[in-house]
Amino acid sequence: MPLQLQPNLAEPGQRYFRDFTPGDDFYEALIETHRDLSDGQSQLLNAKLILVLANQVGDIGALKQALAIARQGV
């Protein structure tokens, strides 16, 4: 399965009238999860999050594509 690179965030059953809303909903939750953490704690949280999401994606081909995109320009 190719990696999904088009906007793809949504909450099932939720009606959106503005296309930026689901992305903003997620982004706010992401930043909120880091609230009051030290930089080291945030790094650990991010690492755990990547591992959880990788398991959700499952497809190692797609994950390798994601790893390459993330590495670009770093």
Partner 1 sequence: MVTYAYPTFPYRAPHDLMVEAPQRLPLVIIGAGPVGLAAAIDARLQGLEVVVFDEDDSVSSGSRAVCYAKRSLEILDRLGVGDGVVAKGVSWNVGRTFLREEEVYRFNLVPDAGHKRPGMINLQQYHLEEALVRRAEALGADLRWKYKVASVTPLEDGARVSLETPDGVFDIEADWLIVADGARSNVRRQLGLDIEGHVFKDRFLIADVVMKTDFPAERWFWFDPPFHPNQSVLLHKQSDNVWRIDFQLGWDADPEEEKKPENILPRVKAMLGDDREFELEWASVYTFQCRRMKQFRHGHLLFAGDAAHQVSPFGARGANSGFQDADDLVWKLALVIKGLAPAALLDTYDVDRVFAADENIRNSTRSTDFITPKSAVSKLFRNAALELARSQPFARKLVNSGRLSVPSFLVNSALNTPDADAFAGDMVPGAPLDDAPVRSNGQEAWLLDQLGHRFVLLAFVDRADAPDGAQAALHAQSAALAAQAIPVRVVWVTANGGAAPAGMATLHDRDGLMALRLDARPGSAYLIRPDQHVAARWRVLDIARLQAALRRATGHELPTVAALRPAIEALIESAPA
Which residues form the interface with partner 1 (CB under 8 A)?
4-9, 15, 17-20, 23-24, 27-28, 30-31, 34, 37, 39, 42, 46, 69, 72-73
Least gap, CB of 67 to partner 1 (angstroms): 13
Task: Residue 2: name the closest of 65, 73, 72, 71 by CA.
Answer: 65
Residue 64 and residue 1: Cα distance in Å, rounded? Answer: 12
Distance between CA atoms of 55 and 69, rounded to whole angstroms? 18
* Beta carbon nearer to partner 1, 33 or 51: 33
Least CB distance to partner 1 at residue 41 (A): 9
